[in-house]
């Protein structure tokens, strides 16, 4: 008597070994054309705005001159050869290399995960745009022009603001994305207990 060959038991909604449930459909996370277009548009807008404001300040104000705008806000022409708050002012070449590596890493990350969250093109566009604009100045001039002076905080420029805003948007999106699955799980657990 010949034995019938064994058939694999594959259940709907589970993996091939029937132990791990399949909970989400797989989707590609790499950036598509629309994400790349959004990233490029935001990054180029950030570079243009930053370069324009620096050009105006450098053309209208002599170095260390300032104009009071309102309250603690001054527009003061300052040159910064370092990074944020003037750190590493004597290390322009290493700052250029580190910034270039950071921008390359962000582009690589975006290529692999640009479709993961709809806010990524905005957040990384701001960070990359601000980084590239300051990088261009460091390579071309050896320093960046800072001009926003709040009196109680070191001077900065629009590129610095774009970088900070982009990082905050990215962190906010990550925190919200982390909270949403927990909230969904709590709602699921509560409905399971009530039924």
Q: Which of 50, 137, 149, 160 is catalytic?
A: 160
pLDDT > 60? residue 39? yes
CA distance linking residue 112 with residue 40, whole number of Å: 16
Q: How far apart, in whole angstroms, are the C-alpha atoms of residue 96 and residue 77?
A: 22
Report the alpha-carbon distance of residue 38 to residue 117 in Å, rounded.
13
Question: What is the C-alpha to C-alpha distance for residues 120 and 42, in angstroms, rounded to an integer?
Answer: 11
Would you list the domain boundaries of the chain? 33-194
Bigger pLDDT: 73 or 182?
Answer: 73
pLDDT of residue 29: 75
Can you give the pLDDT at residue 97?
86
Q: How far apart are CA 28 and CA 5, in angstroms?
A: 37
* Residue of 50, 137, 146, 149 with catalytic role: 146
What's this model's pTM, rounded to 2 decimal places?
0.72
- With cut-offs at 50, 70 and 90, classify the pLDDT of residue 115: confident
Residue with tokens 């610095």: 160
Q: Does 178 have pLDDT greater than 90?
A: no
Q: What is the DSSP letter of 67?
A: E
Q: Contact at 8 Å (CB) between 144 and 161?
A: no
Higher pLDDT, 14 or 82: 82
pLDDT at residue 78 tops 70? yes
Known catalytic residue: 160? yes
């Amino acid at each position: 008597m010949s034995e019938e060959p064994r058939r694999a038991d594959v259940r709907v909604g589970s993996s091939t070994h029937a132990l791990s449930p399949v909970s989400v459909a797989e989707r590609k996370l790499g950036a598509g054309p629309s994400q790349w277009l959004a990233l490029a548009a935001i990054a180029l807008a950030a570079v243009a705005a930053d370069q324009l404001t620096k050009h105006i300040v450098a053309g209208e104000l002599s170095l260390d001159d300032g104009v009071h705008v309102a309250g603690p806000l001054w527009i003061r022409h300052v040159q910064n050869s370092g990074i944020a708050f003037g750190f590493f002012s004597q290390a322009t070449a290493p700052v250029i290399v580190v910034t270039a590596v950071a921008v390359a890493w962000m582009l690589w990350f975006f290529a692999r995960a640009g479709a993961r969250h709809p806010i990524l093109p905005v957040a990384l566009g701001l960070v990359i745009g601000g980084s590239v604009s300051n990088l261009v100045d460091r390579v071309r001039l050896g320093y960046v022009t800072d001009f926003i002076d709040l009196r109680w905080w070191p001077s900065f420029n629009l590129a610095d603001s774009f970088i900070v805003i982009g990082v905050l948007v990215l962190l906010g999106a990550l925190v919200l994305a982390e909270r949403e699955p927990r909230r969904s799980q709590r709602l699921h657990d509560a409905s399971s207990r009530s039924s």
